[in-house]
Amino acid sequence: MVLSHFPRVTLARLPTPIEPLPRLSAHLGGPRLFVKRDDLTGLGLGGNKLRKLEFLLGEAHAQEADTVLTVGAMQSNHARQTAAACARLGLDCELILRRSSHFSDAYLCNGNVLLDRLFAARIHLLQAHESREERMAMRAETLRSEGRKPYCIPVGGSCGLGNLGYVACAEEILSQSEELNVRFEAVVAATGSGGTQGGLVAGMKLHAGVPVIGIAVEGDRQEQEALTSRQAAETQRVLGMGNAGFEGEVLVLDEFVGPGYARPTEAMREALSLAARFEGLVLDPVYTGKAFAGLLALARSGRYGKDQSLLFVHTGGAPGLFGYPESV
């Protein structure tokens, strides 16, 4: 198996289950809906980033790093999962986070950031004008001057190495679809930093698998498709599978972004409500809520028949609900 060539640590409970959503499917009267429960990966309340961190922190361990740095928004799910993983592995963790001014006090002290502190991460707050990547590089250089061995992870853990976690996930999905005797017409997932969708696209291409539809949570379709194509291509290069691009093979829908990243929309609120009311499924307002709104739109579009099936990748993020109470 090609992924076995890469250093890796065990963090997530895998494979995550695929579950049907029968009541919601019946309510919509459209295709059969299923969910891939990557919110159930376990450590630090779970989520998709643990798949990426298995490879990234595998490399950090191989390099004998003692401190891990990463960047994100104040309520970053990736930051929370990184902090939890570092706690498990005995690594120091430093998070460089950007706050926003248009949220309530809960944004600064509840949800993911509360968990960051509980996992003993050191938090650095960015000023509005600062580059998060430059700040992380400066902090890493300071740590090196103190004799430490830092390891830097890009936003969302999205890079060729980290995305291998979703190459593995694509293989899981294809194996589970055979076991369930279900053919998925498409896999639907949130797209932000592009790594989750990029890894899925690269993994599906390796196996002539299922189309992957990204639902953007920021930016527009053109820039998100370009970003995701680059992520998929970099993943392919890391795998040693050549330099063929993915232009024209990546589909991202941007109709569900609304006024911007982490800004609420009525479609997102409906998605949270329907998932909870019909299936007891908890989504978050930033990523999975908007992505599930995209899934609902696809199910209602008439593009897919009642006998066809769609798979939603639940990337986690439920702790974020408590950081954005005004969004629900």
- Residue 1's nearest CA partner among 203, 208, 243 is 203
Average pLDDT over residues 287-301: 98
Structural domain boundaries of the chain? 2-47+160-327, 49-156
pLDDT in tens, 139-191: 999 999 999 999 999 999 999 999 999 999 999 999 999 999 999 999 999 99
pLDDT for the residue numbered 127 = 82
Q: Do domains 2-47+160-327 and 49-156 have the same CATH topology?
A: yes
What does the buried/exposed string (b/e) look like for 237-255 if buried means 16 or more CB atoms within 10 Å of the residue's CB? ebbeeeeeebeebbbbbbe
CATH of domain 2-47+160-327: 3.40.50.1100
Is it the case that residue 1 has pLDDT exceeding 70?
A: no
pLDDT in tens, 7-63: 999 999 999 999 999 999 999 998 999 999 999 999 999 999 999 999 999 999 999
**Annotated active-site residue in 25, 76, 193, 229:** 76
Angle formed by the axes of helices 49-62 and 77-89, nearest 10°: 40
**Mean per-residue pLDDT over the chain, rounded:** 95
Enter the DSSP assignment of 159.
S
CATH of domain 49-156: 3.40.50.1100
pTM value is 0.96
Average pLDDT over residues 252-277: 97
Measured CA to CA in angstroms, residue 235 lies from 6, 50, 202 at distances of 13, 17, 7
76 is an active site residue = yes
Is it the case that residue 209 has pLDDT exceeding 90?
A: no
pLDDT in tens, 192-201: 999 999 999 9
Is it the case that residue 262 has pLDDT exceeding 60?
A: yes
